[in-house]
Amino acid sequence: MGAGDSGSTWGLTPFEIEALSLSFKVAVWAVMCSLPLGVLTAWLLARGHFWGRSILNGIVHLPMIMPPVVVGYLLLVLLGRRGMVGAWLYETFGITIAFTWKGAAIASAVMAFPLMVRAIRLSLEAVDPRLEQAARTLGASPWRVMATVTLPLSLPGILTGAILAFARSLGEFGATITFVSNIPGETRTLPLAVYALLQTPGGEDGAVRLVVASIVLAMSALLASELLARRVSARMEA
């Protein structure tokens, strides 16, 4: 385990760089793939009137209140190579999810989903339905109203949701280690690398550097979301 201090970039070892860039990749994929679903779910929760809305709400929020290890285990049961969906995926498409970075992205996405949906839902609920009515009287169908009025107006919330989910993904630990284990270069993301370093004698220095890196990443994500949201909403303030 190369926890040495040779060949460094910004004082980081290749091992640490690897963990950082893997984390980045996992978080980006997690957010990109869950964003459309997050918007749809938030919209259903904010505007939908259907049977089972509170059940859907409960399911969406489950990962927030369940122990991450349990979520990881459930993912394994579902998507593992012998899992209900996983077996089918493997046999039909030859896709393996468990113990790969894709699995890490899914675990991150699931864990970050409640945060994302919450932010988007709040901003969708803040969109004045009277503006949507006005758009209808101007000839826009409900779908077009969604695309031209509702979504643009909730853009600050969607950005906030995406960036919060990104930051949450960077920090995902419990579900990831349970579902996809801690494989260097494949599933060893930043928090898992910190954990591994702390388990290794003499790894504290590396751990500290990664901790600093993760704090910097998380803070910049938050700042970026704040700035973007402010910029968008300043323009639209009525």
Partner 1 sequence: MLEVEVEHRVGDLRLEASVASDAGITALFGRSGAGKTTLINLLAGLRRPERGRIVVDGHTLFDSSGGIDLPPERRRLGYVFQESRLFPHLSVAGNLSYGLRRTPPAERHQDFDHIVELLDLGSLLKRWPRTLSGGERQRVSIGRALLASPRLLLMDEPLASLDIARKAEILPFIERLRDELRLPVVYVSHTLEEVIRLADTLVLMSEGRTIAAGPVEEIMSRLDLRPLTGRYEAGAVLFAKVAGIDVAFGLTELAFADRRLWVPRLELPMGTPLRVRVRARDVSISLSRPRDSSVVNILEGTIREVEAGNEPVADVLLDVGAPLIARITRRSAQALRLAPGQRVFAQIKAVAIDRPSVGQRGTTRHNS
Binding footprint of partner 1 on the chain (CB under 8 A): 128, 130-131, 133-141, 144, 148-149, 152-153, 155, 235-238
Task: Closer to partner 1 by CB, 59 or 134: give it.
Answer: 134
Task: Closer to partner 1 by CB, 87 or 131: give it.
Answer: 131
Residue 21, token pair as written in the block: 């860039």
Residue 4 to residues 11, 116, 205: CA-CA distances in angstroms?
Answer: 11, 38, 9
Task: Closer to partner 1 by CB, 47 or 61: give it.
Answer: 47
Least Å distance, CB 119 to partner 1, is 18
Least Å distance, CB 154 to partner 1, is 10
Rounded-to-integer distance, Cα 162 and Cα 229, Å: 11
- CB neighbour burial string for 69-79, b if at least 16 within 10 angstroms, e if fewer: eebbbbbbeeb
Task: Closer to partner 1 by CB, 32 or 126: give it.
Answer: 126
Q: Residue 97: which residues within 8 A CB-CB, separation 6 or more? A: 79, 80, 86, 89, 103, 106
Least Å distance, CB 18 to partner 1, is 42
Least Å distance, CB 40 to partner 1, is 21
Q: Are 159 and 232 in contact (CB under 8 A)?
A: yes
